[in-house]
Structures are given as structure tokens and as C-alpha cells.
């Protein structure tokens, strides 16, 4: 297959799954690409960011802009943006996903609305990618207030200890819903996953639902408070991207996001890195207990430019190039 043939196939697939329209109840136009035409027909947060990357690489930056603008159409006044937007398609495919929305929505649950969960906050890098490709500073100026409000919400509501580390309150927020390291937290025994694991994860969402997704209450109860390596790596990378975007238009808040980036990187090293095994692990609870389960996210922080080179090399050498772990004959799907 030639590069042109590959590009044509990708363009065709994106166009086939693309959705645009108008929500009367929200009073907003929307434009996004379905991650899956049947299983996942809604607008998902980080899928939209990935689609923006792909569209930009296909020289379709204008289309990427529409996707990102649509993503922020329902942003709350406090800055929150949910991991799913139900545009004119209000019932989830899996009815238990209703527990991922606030019960306070009541009848509004059956109109265009957002979920109450996060997804890895990749959007600053997505906007940066589009701006770099298009040099559209007007688009940047339009998006920047929304980005700042969103990342400010995360810092205010999910950095519970004020150390720059973001906690997720459901496995779904990691973007890796059935990640093996969560088994210990939900008290699922080692072994093959089955219906019991599904029930335990849905139980977490149900308890969050009963607490009306009040982050302070959820933190106090502590049934699922996880600082996940992948989420926090992406958070750090995007704080740096937001700092750079602010600098590009001389926004005075640029230093705020650089300071937060520095704090997050410092905490990733101090809290998640394990010297003995040379790996970055998820931690859970208020005492930051390391979950020493090897998953691909043990490598994620090595992409952060301020992680010391010697640490990155140890992680890769001990695990990525280890034939008993990740250095396998065929690529691993995860």
C-alpha cells in the first residue's frame, strides 16, 4: 500500500464516521468523529484530541478545529468538560453508563449533555498541533480561555493534596478502563477478568453517582482514588503545552502553567518512581501506595523532557528490553 492509498483509506474512514448537526436543547452546532459507529457513537474527549492530530496530519486542520470547538461547546462555567458528550443521542449504549452522569441532571439526562467523568487531558497538545500546522492565532485566542478554565478546574478539583498529582475517581477516567493495576484497588483477585470485575467497576461509578460526583465527598470516602501514571504524564505534557500556547500570544498566565508542570514532574519522580524496580507505578489512597503491576504506562514518564536521562534509561533497559517482560517477538496489543 502506498502512502497515498493509506491516506485515502484513513480519510474515507474518518468521513464515514463523521457527525455534524445542531442540538436544539443545547443551542449549539456540533462536529465530531465517532470512535466506533455502533459501540461508541458519542463525542469522546480524548478520541476527539486524537482525531484532531490525525486530521492535522492529513492537511485537514480546519476540520480539526471544528472538532475541538465542538468539544468545548458544553463546557461548564467552572471549566469542567466531561469525557463524553451525548449530542442528540442521549441514552448510552450500555445502560450502566447512566451512572457516569450526575443524578442532579434529572430530566435533562434525556437531552444533550455531558458525562461527569474526565479523560486524559490531551487537548492542549491537540490545539498546539493544529496551531503549529495552521499558524491560526485567532483560533488559538478563541480556544485559550477555554483551555485555561479546563486545566484550572482539574488543578482545583482533582489535585486533592496540592502536590501537582491528579487523582482519577473511576477506572474509566484513565482511558484504559480495565487496566490490571486497578484490580488491587477494586479488590479483584489475580486471574482472568470476568463479570465480577465489571460489577466492581460499575459499582464505583454507582457510588460516585450516589455522591452526585462531589469530588470532595468522593475523596473523603476513598473507595477509588488513584494517581494513574498515564493520566499524570499526559497532564504534565499538556501543562507545558498550555504554557507554550500562552507565551505565543503573550498571555500573562503562562508562568502559572509552567510552575504547575514543574510541580507535577517533581511529584511523578518522588511518588510514582520506584528505584528498586526502576519503574513508574500507579499509586492509590491518601498514603500513595504503589501498585507494583507492570503495564505499558511504566514507560510513559520517559517522554517528559525533565525526567532525568539516567532514570529513563534504567526504565527502558530493565523492562522494555527485557525478553521476559516487554521485549517480545511480536508487538503487544494493549
Which residue is associated with the grid cell 465480577?
196
Q: What is the pTM of this model?
A: 0.95
- Chunked into runs of 10 residues, the chain (334 residues) has average pLDDT values of 94 96 93 91 96 97 97 97 89 80 74 93 98 97 98 98 97 94 93 90 95 96 97 98 98 98 98 97 96 96 97 96 86 59
CA 62 and chain centroid, separation: 23
Which residue is associated with the grid cell 468521513?
15
In this predicted structure, what is the pLDDT of residue 6?
A: 94
User: Does domain 3-320 sit in CATH 1.50.10.10?
Assistant: yes
Grid cell for residue 290: 504503589
Grid cell for residue 174: 484513565
In this predicted structure, what is the pLDDT of residue 328?
A: 82
In this predicted structure, what is the pLDDT of residue 214?
A: 96
In this predicted structure, what is the pLDDT of residue 206?
A: 96
Task: Give Dmax over CA atoms of the chain in angstroms.
Answer: 57
Q: Which residues of 219-232 are buried (b: 16+ CB within 10 A; e: fewer)?
A: beeeebbbbbbbbb
- For the chain, which residues make up each domain, given as ranges? 3-320
Q: Count of CB atoms within 10 A of residue 7's CB?
A: 13
In this predicted structure, what is the pLDDT of residue 111?
A: 82
Measured between alpha carbons, how far apart are the two ends of the chain, in Å? 25
Amino acid at each position: 500500500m502506498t502512502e497515498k492509498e493509506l491516506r485515502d483509506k484513513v480519510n474515507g474512514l474518518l468521513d464515514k464516521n463523521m457527525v455534524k448537526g445542531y442540538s436544539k436543547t443545547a443551542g449549539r452546532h456540533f462536529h465530531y468523529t465517532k470512535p466506533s459507529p455502533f459501540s461508541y457513537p458519542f463525542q469522546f474527549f480524548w478520541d476527539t484530541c486524537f482525531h484532531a492530530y490525525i486530521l492535522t496530519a492529513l492537511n485537514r486542520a480546519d476540520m480539526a478545529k471544528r472538532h475541538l470547538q465542538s468539544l468545548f461547546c458544553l463546557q461548564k462555567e467552572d471549566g469542567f468538560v466531561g469525557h463524553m458528550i451525548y449530542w442528540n443521542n442521549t441514552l448510552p449504549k450500555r445502560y450502566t453508563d447512566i451512572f457516569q452522569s450526575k443524578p442532579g441532571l434529572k430530566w435533562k439526562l434525556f437531552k444533550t449533555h455531558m458525562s461527569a467523568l474526565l479523560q486524559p487531558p490531551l487537548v492542549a497538545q491537540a490545539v498546539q498541533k493544529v496551531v503549529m500546522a495552521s499558524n491560526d492565532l485567532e483560533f488559538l485566542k478563541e480556544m485559550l480561555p477555554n483551555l485555561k478554565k479546563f486545566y484550572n478546574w482539574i488543578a482545583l478539583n482533582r489535585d486533592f493534596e496540592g502536590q501537582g498529582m491528579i487523582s482519577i475517581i473511576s477506572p474509566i477516567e484513565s482511558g484504559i478502563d480495565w487496566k490490571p493495576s486497578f484490580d488491587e484497588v477494586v479488590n479483584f483477585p489475580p486471574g482472568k477478568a470476568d463479570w465480577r470485575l465489571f460489577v466492581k467497576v460499575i459499582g464505583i461509578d454507582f457510588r460516585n453517582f450516589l455522591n452526585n460526583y462531589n469530588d470532595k465527598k468522593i475523596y473523603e470516602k476513598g473507595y477509588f482514588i488513584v494517581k494513574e501514571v498515564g493520566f499524570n504524564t499526559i497532564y504534565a505534557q499538556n501543562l507545558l503545552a498550555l504554557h507554550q500556547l500562552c507565551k505565543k500570544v503573550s498571555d500573562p498566565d503562562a508562568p502559572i502553567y509552567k510552575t504547575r508542570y514543574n510541580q507535577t514532574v517533581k511529584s511523578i519522580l518522588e511518588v510514582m518512581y520506584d528505584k528498586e524496580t526502576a519503574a513508574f507505578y500507579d499509586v492509590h489512597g491518601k498514603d500513595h501506595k504503589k501498585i507494583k503491576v507492570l503495564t505499558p504506562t511504566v514507560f510513559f514518564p520517559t517522554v517528559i523532557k525533565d525526567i532525568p536521562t539516567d532514570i529513563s534509561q534504567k526504565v527502558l533497559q530493565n523492562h522494555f528490553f527485557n525478553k521476559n517482560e516487554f521485549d517480545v517477538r511480536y508487538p503487544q496489543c494493549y
